[in-house]
């Protein structure tokens, strides 16, 4: 299909036009079925159009969808209570907003004002969204636009995280924090996704927590991809075993609806004496709360976190087996249901053309996947209810596609 003529051409749109979704599959207007290995844009974590989820959201939103910013609903109060519970040691207070970029900006705005400082430290491969504020702390991807005056960066280690890289990384962070008295926050993804599916070891995060305490810098986690069960815990910081000061989470927590949440550590809220004035038309909407409450209920009732913990290693095992037999797929890695593997073709330095061929051929064969890091890395973030056998079948297809491209 040619590009749809009345959509702003922000991205090369897929050739398939989608019509409906069910569970881990979407169907195009010709009735062709696709296995969705990316749960949309990593959002439909309980599957597409999950009937139980939709019925509960419909029932809740039939009562109330929206209120003015200063009016709270019972649904919102209940949501804040549930988020406080699942934030565990963070003992968080929360606000419901709409998108990942919006919650990242919310966190940074208050990190700066609470600290009375302007600087933000990031990884040089981080991705935090594309509104102007979020874009100014985004280093990875083609639209990156780090603002250098107040935004500092340290190099992200490679996907291998060697012992030398870990200590060099901690030393670099320590040095920047030591040298800059105006640093309000360190903003970092628990798994650097757009930057190349880089999974830090827990010990690195625990050491970063100590450095932030030592230098009185707030640790702000961008859990837009990793939050709400992706790693087998409610939040990735629980998997790693430390407590952040702020969490920006989106995508999965919205179950496919535009809902995002910022969490502030309870102790931080207690320390702050003034009101954190904020106005956004959809903040703390009963609609967003209905979605989040429905998600929490569903995950609890169906033991979904246990399911993610059980499926993650099985999918990683299948990916590892693939790398053992296919020379074009290397470095399988993953945590929970967030996985990556690198493409490898002798002599290739720009992986974009080859990645586009891989994804087009996979689409043709009925599988949706996504690349990152300039097409060098394939990433898999399926819904949590996906059938592992279906993923394994799709890896056989990936095997064939990557072999077919071996002559490029
Ligand atoms: C880690 C991370 N942070 C922030 C964002 C921005 O989220 P949104 O696109 O909902 O604004 C994204 C989106 O991909 C993301 O992956």
Here the CATH number for the domain that contains residue 111 is 3.40.640.10
CA distance linking residue 43 with residue 250, whole number of Å: 8
Average pLDDT over residues 299-311: 98
Hey, what are 291's tokens? Answer: 């979605």
> Which residue among 238, 267, 301 closes a domain?
301
Same domain, 173 and 62: yes
Same domain, 150 and 207: yes
**Mean model confidence pLDDT for the chain:** 95
Same domain membership, residue 384 and residue 368: yes
Residue whose CA lies nearest to ligand 1 atom number 10:
100
Atom of ligand 1 nearest to the CA of 41: 14
Chain segment 175-216, per-residue pLDDT in tens: 999 998 899 999 999 999 999 999 999 999 999 999 999 999
Cα separation, 87 vs 76, in Å, equals 16
Question: What pLDDT score does 392 carry?
Answer: 98
Q: Which two tokens stand for residue 92?
A: 């968080």
- 5 within a domain of the structure (yes/no): no
Same domain, 181 and 278: yes
| Substitution candidate for ligand 1 out of 11, 129, 258, 373 with most atoms within 8 A of CB | 129
Domain that holds residue 178: 53-301
Q: How far apart are CA 386 and CA 389, in angstroms?
A: 9
**Tokens at 1, concatenated:** 């299909």
| Together in a domain, 361 and 243 | no
- Phi, psi dihedral angles at 350 (to 5 degrees): -100, 110
Please give the structure tokens belonging to residue 53.
Answer: 């989820």
Instruction: Show the ligand 1 pocket: residues with CB < 6 angstroms.
Output: 99-101, 104, 127-129, 189, 193, 222, 224-225, 250
2 band by pLDDT with thresholds 50, 70 and 90: low
Q: Are residues 121 and 263 in the same domain?
A: yes
| Residue to mutate (ligand 1; options 38, 100, 105; most atoms within 8 A of CB) | 100
Mean pLDDT of 259-285: 90
Contact 377, 343 (CB under 8 A): yes
pLDDT number for residue 408:
55
Quick one: which atom of ligand 1 is closest to the CA of 250?
10
Please check whether residues 181 and 297 belong to one and the same domain.
yes
Residues 35, 101, single domain; the answer is no
39-62 average pLDDT score: 98
Tokens 């072999």 locate to 403
Of 277, 301, 325, the position where a domain reaches its end is 301
Same domain? 179 vs 190? yes
| Residues 92 and 39 occupy one common structural domain | no
CA of 194, closest atom in ligand 1 = 16
d(CA 231, CA 233): 6
Residue 306 located in a structural domain = no
What per-residue confidence (pLDDT) applies to 407?
A: 56
Three-state DSSP state, 392: helix
Q: Is 156 within the bounds of a domain?
A: yes
| 161 plus 224 within the same structural domain | yes
Instruction: Determine, yes or no, domain membership for 392.
Output: yes
Q: Which atom of ligand 1 is nearest to the CA of 126?
A: 1
CA-nearest residue, atom 8 of ligand 1? 100
**Total number of domains in the chain:** 2
In a domain, 3, yes or no: no
Q: 29 lies in a domain?
A: yes
This model's pTM is above 0.85 = yes
- Domain boundary (301, 329, 348) is at 301
Residue 138 in any domain: the answer is yes
Q: What is the pLDDT of residues 225-252, one digit of tens each?
A: 999 999 999 999 999 999 999 999 999 9
């Amino acid at each position: 299909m040619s590009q749809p003529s009345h959509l702003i051409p922000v991205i090369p749109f897929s050739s398939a036009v989608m019509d409906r979704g069910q569970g881990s599959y979407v169907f195009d207007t010709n009735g062709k079925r696709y296995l969705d290995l990316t749960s949309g844009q990593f959002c439909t974590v309980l599957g597409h159009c999950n009937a139980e989820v939709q019925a509960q959201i419909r029932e809740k939103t039939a009562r109330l969808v929206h209120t003015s910013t200063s009016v709270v609903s019972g649904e919102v109060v209940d949501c804040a209570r549930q988020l406080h519970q699942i934030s565990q040691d963070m003992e968080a207070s929360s606000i419901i907003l709409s998108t990942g970029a919006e919650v990242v900006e919310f966190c940074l705005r208050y990190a700066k004002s609470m600290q009375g400082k302007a600087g933000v430290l990031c990884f040089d491969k981080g991705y935090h969204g594309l509104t102007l504020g979020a874009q100014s702390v985004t280093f990875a991807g083609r639209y990156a636009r780090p603002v250098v005056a107040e935004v500092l960066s340290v190099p992200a280690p490679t996907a291998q995280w060697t012992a030398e890289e870990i200590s060099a990384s901690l030393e670099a962070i320590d040095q920047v924090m030591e040298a800059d008295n105006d640093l309000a926050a360190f903003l970092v993804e628990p798994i650097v996704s757009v930057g190349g599916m880089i999974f830090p070891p827990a010990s690195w995060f625990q050491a970063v927590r100590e450095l932030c305490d030592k230098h009185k810098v707030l640790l702000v986690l961008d859990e837009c991809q990793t939050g709400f069960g992706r790693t087998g815990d409610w939040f990735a910081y629980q998997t790693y075993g430390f407590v952040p000061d702020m969490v920006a989470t989106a995508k999965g927590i919205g179950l496919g609806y535009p809902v995002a949440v910022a969490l502030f550590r309870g102790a931080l809220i207690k320390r702050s004496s003034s009101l954190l004035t904020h106005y956004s038309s959809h903040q703390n909407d009963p609609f967003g709360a209905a979605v989040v409450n429905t998600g929490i209920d569903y995950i609890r009732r169906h033991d979904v976190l246990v399911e993610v913990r059980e499926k993650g290693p099985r999918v990683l095992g299948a990916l590892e087996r693939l790398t053992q037999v296919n020379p074009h797929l290397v470095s399988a890695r993953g945590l929970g249901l967030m996985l990556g593997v690198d493409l490898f073709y002798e002599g290739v330095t720009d992986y974009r053309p080859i990645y586009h061929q891989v994804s087009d051929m996979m689409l043709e064969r009925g599988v949706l996947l996504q690349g990152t890091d300039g097409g060098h890395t394939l990433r898999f973030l399926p819904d949590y209810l996906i059938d592992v056998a279906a993923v394994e079948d799709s890896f056989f297809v990936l095997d064939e596609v990557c072999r077919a491209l071996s002559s490029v």
